[in-house]
Structure 1
Amino acid sequence: MKHFLLILIIIAQASLFCLGQENTESTPATSNVAGAEYPKIQTDLSVIFRVKAPDAKKVQIDLGKLYDMTKDDQGVWSVTTDPQVPGFHYYSLVIDGIKVADPASESFYGMGRMASAIEIPEKGADFYTIKDVPHGALSSKYYYSEYTKSWRRLFVYTPPGYDKNISEKYPVVYIQHGGGEDETGWAVQGKTDIILDNLIAEGKARPLIVVIANGNVTAPGGGFGGYSSKGMAPFKEEMTKNIVPFIDANYRSLADADNRAICGLSMGGGQSFYVGLESPEFFGSVGVFSTGLFGGIRTSGSGFDAEKEIPGLLSESDKFNKNLDLFYISCGEQDMRIEHTKKAVKTMRENGLEVEFNSFPGDHEWQVWRKSLHDFASRVFQ
């Protein structure tokens, strides 16, 4: 009997030791507010969420999938999720049916509102990690829009040495966010400045200026017109008649099409497609990341017709090839847009249009878009 009790004690102690190891291996998410222990990411990339809500009747985590949380006798609710895909994911606490931000997480503008998010690390991916390299500057600027008759904000990245090399001028990339986001997207979630700092330090990208504007521009009294030349006309007006002139007047930019590029994700990819291809006098390079323009989000219609959307794109592809230094398209490999995007690229190439295409593991999310920017920036202006 004594031996049996001794075995039970040893097993119990071993179990506690293993539990201690498991807790030690989990780490607070980098997207947590300062001092917050949870959410915690485990080695298999599952996430432990905890929240104190003693008066709540039901608490869930909405991380693309709803997870029911369980409550202990202290009123603390907890759950461990399935392993998550690396990247940046918005999420919500759902307390008695109401979606709210997690007070333990930083909040980000996405999904059309301020929301919590969690950064799931990707092993071996350090291109968006701060390193001991020369750093540029990311500044918030206001300009007056004659189109919207209002003050609007944008962010401007200037490369390392910009303030010292006062005689040097730089090419400019104009980069656009997706639907439900604003100009903070590429500045915060996208880690644009860190990606460019690292690329420039490695000699993989030219020193350049990046402009992150608010793409939520509508015609007076109207809404977003959808994926069409007409629907994108308000943004085109804002970009070509307000944003580009503001940058050229206030920064040492190389003010010609060969040294201007426009790119963007999702809605911003659609904006870049229309505005970039319709404005060769402004932009010599165009990047389209994960757009729904080609299909994958449309529920009706006959599909994407490149020639109809941009007259001459297929029938006069030589003209576009001459005007474009780079036409780049990318998409996530698990994105529902991927097959439609591949089909569109194939058709363009079959008609002689020069298109650079790449895909990355992931769905419709920031890790794919960070990699798209990294890839695009290493190709543009070369």
Structure 2
Amino acid sequence: MKKLIFILCCLLEAVVLQAQPPRQSRIVTDTIYSEVLQAKRAYTIFLPQSFDKEKDRRYPILYLLHGMWENNSVWASRGHVKDVMDRLTASGEACEMIIVTPDAGGGNPDVYWNGYFDMPEWEYETFFYNEFLPYIEKTYRVIGDKQHRAIAGLSMGGGGATSYGQRHTDMFAAVYAMSALMSIPEAGAARFDNPDGKLATLTRSVIENSCVNYVLESDDARKEQLRSVSWFVDCGDDDFLLDRNIEFFQAMRNAGIPCQFRVRDGGHDWEYWHSALYTCLPFVSRHFIGNGIK
């Protein structure tokens, strides 16, 4: 009788386990208070399927930056990053990783601060490196070294990701730039009625942090540092920023810095950026040490 009861209990347990839904990846939105910015800043984070079960496991991380006029939620809501990651990890094309999008603006750049650089009244880069990155990597069990950290972004965020990768080569294994605001030529910069306005200030910050000029002005030591990062530039053939991306690639090639460059059919829109994730996520996975992705 005891043996029969034991067998029935085992069968019941098996049925219960089969009835449970499979482990799911998930998207979480939260905030961090910034002493630097004197405000709360939101972020959206993708946590992989194993995150809640494997409590001692640490993960590589991708910082995924949004564009102007948008905020931290857009890669989840319009880029569908969760759906893409679930599909790519299931197929073995991408490794499990944490993906986080900070909020670097979130509205009309004439009204709200936007941008990834330090500006008067908006020391965003200081916030990112001194507060945001350490908080994320401690809170969410991130491995936390160069070999397991990457950065990517679109438009304003593509330029931000490229510039962060350039000036912090010791921190990122790979950079993936989509439709990136690599520079604004002085001659082509817009003239503003209010030169101290937020959009004018942002424009000057992009000119001052030109990703193209950073390469053109590099000495041999800086070029060697840039070679320690894996670079990928992805821009549509109908994108208004295509020339800036071509200029960046030409500067990298002339400096002898390896950089993959893709021009695909498309413009400056979410159809393009969503499709770019299918290249971006396997690319960064291949450059995370010990990921098993080839």
> What TM bracket, shorter-length normalisation?
0.7 to 0.9
User: Structure 2: which amino acid aligns with 1:319?
Assistant: Q
Task: State the secondary structure of the residue aligned to 1:186.
Answer: helix
Measured in 2, the distance between the counterparts of 1:296 and 1:199 equals 38
Q: Deviations over 1:273-313 (max 9, x none)?
A: 22222122332222211123245997249x96734478527
CA RMSD after TM alignment: 3.2
Q: What amino acid sits opposite 1:332 in the alignment? A: G
**Paired amino acid for 2:94:** A
CA distance in structure 2 between the aligned counterparts of 1:227 and 1:296, rounded to whole angstroms: 19
Instruction: Please name the residue that 2:36 is paired with.
Output: 147
Rounded to whole Å, the distance in 1 between the matches of 2:116 and 2:49 is: 37
2:244 to 320, 324, 340: 340
Q: Identify the residue that residue 250 of structure 1 maps to in structure 2.
A: 139
Q: Deviations over 1:144-175 (max 9, x none)?
A: 11211222211110111111112211100011
CA distance in 1, matches of 2:94, 2:82: 13
Q: Indicate if the aligned counterparts of 2:116 and 2:157 stay in contact, CA closer than 8 A.
A: no
Distance across 2 between alignment mates of 1:279 and 1:177: 19
Helix, strand or coil: the match of 2:75?
helix
CA deviation vs aligned residue, 1:36-83 (integer Å, no higher than 9, x gap) = xxxxxxxxxxxxxxxxxxxxxxxxxxxxxxxxxxxxxxxxxxxxxxxx
TM-score by length of 2: 0.73
CA-to-aligned-CA distance 1:323-358 (integer Å, 9 cap, x gap): x1x211111121122233123202311210111222
Q: What are the ranges of 5 or more consecutive residues in structure 1 without an aligned counterpart? A: 1-131
The structure whose Rg is larger is 1
Q: Which residue of 227, 231, 244 maps to 1:321?
A: 227
Given that 1:333 and 1:360 are in contact with CA atoms closer than 8 Å, whether structure 2 keeps it comes out as: yes
Whether 1:186 aligns to 2:92 is: no
Q: Secondary structure at the match of 2:250?
A: helix
Distance in structure 1 (CA, Å) of the matches to 2:153 and 2:243: 19
Structure 2 alignment gaps of length 5 or more? 1-20, 191-206, 287-294
Aligned to 1:379: 283
Query: Conserved in 1, the CA contact under 8 Å of 2:159 and 2:211?
Result: no
- Offset from partner CA, 1:98-153 (integer Å, 9 cap, x none): xxxxxxxxxxxxxxxxxxxxxxxxxxxxxxxxxx9964110111211121122221
Q: TM-score, normalised by structure 1?
A: 0.57
**Please, which of 358, 363, 366 is the counterpart of residue 267 of structure 2?**
363
Q: Indicate if the aligned counterparts of 2:149 and 2:172 stay in contact, CA closer than 8 A.
A: yes
Alignment partners' CA distance in 1, 2:28 and 2:211: 39
Preserved contact between residue 37 and residue 123 of structure 2 (Cα < 8 Å) = no
Q: How many angstroms apart in 2 are the aligned matches of 1:225 and 1:193?
A: 25
Measured in 2, the distance between the counterparts of 1:305 and 1:244 equals: 22
Check the 8 A contact 2:104/2:115 in 1, yes or no: no
Shift of 1:247: 0.9
Q: Distance in 1 between matches of 2:42 and 2:128?
A: 13
Higher helix residue share? 2
Distance 1:135 1:310 in 2: 46
Residue 168 of structure 1 is matched in structure 2 by 57
Name the residue aligned to 2:17.
Answer: none
How many residues are matched?
244
Shift of 1:184: 1.4
Aligned partner of 2:168 in structure 1 is 279
Instruction: Assess, with a 3 A threshold, how the Cα gap between structure 1 residues 264 and 185 changes in structure 2: closer, same or farther.
Output: same
* 1:258–1:284 contact (8 Å) kept in structure 2: yes
Task: Provide the C-alpha distance between the structure 2 equivalents of 1:202 and 1:140, rounded to a whole number of angstroms.
Answer: 27
Residue 210 of structure 1 is aligned with which of 99, 119, 124? 99
User: Secondary structure of 2:136's match?
Assistant: helix
- Work out the CA distance in 1 between the residues paired with 2:261 and 2:22: 30
CA distance in 1, matches of 2:219, 2:180: 18
Say whether 1:353 aligns with 2:240: no
C-alpha distance after superposition, 1:200-243 (max 9, x if no partner): 111001100000110129xxxx9758797768x82321211111
Partner of 2:178: 289
Residue equivalent to 2:234: 330
